[in-house]
């Protein structure tokens, strides 16, 4: 992955970290499927260290399937079988210390080593899953995921882009949902931390999706409203990440 863009930071809401980044990733064929949810519902399942972030008074939950590529520490070449695999995230939006970020309810991955490493290093809620991703006519992505430890956590979806590429503008809902430059979690001693990330501005497209089965939010203890999700497609997004920093 070419990382010449890493020092381009004018689009960020705060400056780049001063320390060197430690990890790179590239996300492909990504679907953002978002539902509005009651912030009080999320308050029951998000640690109290983090404030629920809302847009026009509403919180949001996202189910995000994609394919990881070029996953590797800085200075290490991508390794076959370890650096490319499907991933499926369930996330919401929080703030801490004035910095808006992402909170993950779950991260399912088709790579058991990645699951083990992320749980060991970051205490993130990663789960091994049986996953398959295919591309059909018209660019349709066929995505299948079932969690090994809990088969009830499942996504069966076909999705594709459906519109011109655009960059979300500050102040819009699309910007609120995507332009996030850190994640929040708690370490093995339940101490809150922030992990900074960096990426170019998002290049979104509207999307169409047939969510044939989606129990991912329910597996996280959240009931989705009976409304159509807000859908966006991303062909590719490159990113780098820093080591986590404990919050005081």
> pLDDT (tens digit, 9 = 90+) per residue, 45-56?
999 999 999 999
Question: What distance in Å separates the CA atoms of residue 217 and residue 17, rounded to the nearest whole number?
Answer: 32
Res 168 pLDDT > 80: yes
Res 75 pLDDT > 80: yes
The full set of domain ranges for the chain reads 23-246
Q: Average of pLDDT values for 131-139?
A: 94
pTM of the full predicted structure? 0.96
235 burial type by CB count under 10 A (0-12 exposed, 13-18 middle, 19+ buried): middle
pLDDT for 221: 96
Q: Are 59 and 93 in contact (CB under 8 A)?
A: yes
Q: Reduced to 3 states, what is the DSSP secondary structure of residue 55?
A: strand
pLDDT for 81: 77
Q: Are 154 and 212 in contact (CB under 8 A)?
A: no
For residue 121, name the pLDDT band (cuts at 50, 70, 90): very high
CATH architecture of 23-246: Beta Barrel (2.40)
């Amino acid at each position: 992955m070419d990382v010449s863009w890493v020092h381009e930071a004018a689009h960020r809401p705060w400056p780049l970290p001063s320390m060197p980044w430690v990890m790179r990733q590239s996300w492909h064929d990504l679907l953002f499927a978002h539902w509005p949810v009651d912030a009080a519902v999320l308050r029951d399942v998000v640690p109290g260290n983090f404030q629920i972030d809302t847009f026009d008074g509403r919180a949001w939950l996202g189910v995000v399937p994609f394919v990881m590529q070029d996953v590797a520490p800085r200075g290490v070449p991508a390794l076959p079988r370890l650096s490319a695999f499907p991933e499926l995230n369930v996330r919401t939006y929080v703030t801490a210390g004035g910095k808006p970020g992402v909170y993950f309810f779950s991260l399912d991955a088709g790579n058991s080593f990645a699951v083990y490493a992320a749980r060991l290093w970051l205490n993130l809620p990663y789960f091994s899953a049986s996953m398959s991703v295919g591309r059909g006519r018209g660019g349709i992505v066929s995505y299948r995921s079932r969690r090994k430890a809990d088969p009830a956590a499942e996504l069966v979806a076909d999705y594709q882009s459906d519109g011109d590429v655009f960059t979300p503008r500050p102040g819009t809902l699309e910007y609120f949902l995507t332009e996030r430059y850190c994640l929040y979690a708690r370490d093995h001693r339940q101490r809150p931390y922030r992990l900074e990330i960096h990426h170019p501005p998002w290049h979104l497209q509207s999307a169409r999706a047939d969510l044939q089965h989606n129990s991912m939010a329910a597996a996280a203890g959240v009931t989705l409203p009976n409304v159509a999700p807000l859908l966006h497609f991303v062909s590719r997004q490159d990113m780098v990440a820093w080591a986590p920093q404990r919050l005081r």
